[in-house]
Amino acid sequence: MKKSFLSKNPDEQRNILIDVLWKAEISNKKIANISYKEPYNALSKIDNKSDFSSMRRSGDSNPG
């Protein structure tokens, strides 16, 4: 997803961020604090965001 986001033009990137983020604070050219909109706020509660399996719920929505 990062690669896809970075390949977008600045207007498209801005629109994606508007859809996902409620608020982002920048300090010293780095993100200092971030708040997500629903349902993306679940992302902020995950300790290891690089581990996709930890981001999934306990079961698959299509176990078959």
Domain residue ranges in the chain: 2-49
**Is the pLDDT reported for residue 15 higher than 70?**
yes
Judge if pTM exceeds 0.85.
Answer: no
pLDDT of residue 55: 53
Could you tell me the pLDDT band of residue 46, with boundaries at 50, 70 and 90? confident
Contact between 57 and 46 (Cβ < 8 Å): no
User: Which residue, among 56, 59, 52, 37, has the nearest Cα to 1 in the 3D structure?
Assistant: 52
**Is the pLDDT reported for residue 23 higher than 70?**
yes
Give, in degrees to the nearest 5, the angle at Cα 45 between 43 and 49: 55
**Is the pLDDT reported for residue 56 higher than 90?**
no
Contact between 48 and 60 (Cβ < 8 Å): no
Least confident stretch, 1-5, 8-12, 14-18, 44-48:
44-48
